[in-house]
């Protein structure tokens, strides 16, 4: 079991590990209902505020959104294609990896307390925002550790869920053999 306490850590500017792009607003009058997630500045639903059929240059999968307005400082990973509003910033990791992205979103979100509606996390501030990351023997971000750490946590959550489902399935069929009959 990997432990974050066993690692050396170092602070990195976000611009060292990701490119940062602005989103583009799709105003209410322009929005057409559809299936494309439109990420804005919500702290819930992975930041998704609408589903639209619109498309623009911000559409991309495998990115992190960081709220710069509204629920400032929340970060979410989007493995699916999505559109990004100007109320968030889209980060493209220089080391693109789902598990690393999830690790980094937690580190970014941990900084949200210093931001507010009056002190937004705009592009300039986001570039210079430091986050702590585990490092390898050369002092670089230890992406392999981040990936394995998140994979272990994911496996723990899945095992916990399977156990919960198994216990409740037994209860729902009377606690007997746990199977279904033909």
Q: Taking the C-alpha atoms of 47, 51, 55 and 61 in order, what is their torsion angle to the nearest 10 degrees?
A: 50
CB atoms within 10 A of CB 40: 23
pLDDT band at 55 (very low <50, low <70, confident <90, very high): very high
Q: What is the mean pLDDT of the chain?
A: 92
CA angle 5–9–67, rounded 5-degree value = 105
Q: Hey, CA dihedral for 82, 71, 73, 155, is it positive or negative? A: negative
pLDDT band at 33 (very low <50, low <70, confident <90, very high): very high
Considering just the CA atoms, what is the radius of gyration of the chain in Å? 20
Residue 138, pLDDT score: 98
E strand residue ranges, the chain: 9-13, 18-22, 33-39, 48-52, 63-67, 75-78, 83-84, 88-93, 130-134
Domains and CATH numbers, the chain: 4-172 (3.90.220.20)
Residue 175, pLDDT score: 55
Q: Is the pLDDT of residue 180 over 80?
A: no
Residue 118, pLDDT score: 77
Q: Looking at residues 159-175, what average pLDDT do you find?
A: 80
pLDDT band at 62 (very low <50, low <70, confident <90, very high): very high
How do residues 111-161 score in pLDDT, each as one tens digit? 998 887 778 888 999 999 999 999 999 999 999 999 999 999 999 999 999
pLDDT band at 182 (very low <50, low <70, confident <90, very high): very low
């Amino acid at each position: 079991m990997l432990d974050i306490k066993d690692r050396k850590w170092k602070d990195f500017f976000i611009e060292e590990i990701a490119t940062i792009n602005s989103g583009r607003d799709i105003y209410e009058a322009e929005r057409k209902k559809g299936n494309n997630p439109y990420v804005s500045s919500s702290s819930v639903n992975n930041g998704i505020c609408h589903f639209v059929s619109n498309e623009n240059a911000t559409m991309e999968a495998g990115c992190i959104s960081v709220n710069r307005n509204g629920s400032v400082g929340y970060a979410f990973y989007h493995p699916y294609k999505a559109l990004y509003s100007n109320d968030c910033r889209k980060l493209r990791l220089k080391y693109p990896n789902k598990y690393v992205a999830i690790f980094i979103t937690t580190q970014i979100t941990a900084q949200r307390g210093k931001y507010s509606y009056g002190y937004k996390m705009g592009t300039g501030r986001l570039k210079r925002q430091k986050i702590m990351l585990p490092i390898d023997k050369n002092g670089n971000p230890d992406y392999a550790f981040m990936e394995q750490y998140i994979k272990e946590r994911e496996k723990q959550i899945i095992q916990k869920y399977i156990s919960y489902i198994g216990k409740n399935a037994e209860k729902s069929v009377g606690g007997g053999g746990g199977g279904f009959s033909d």
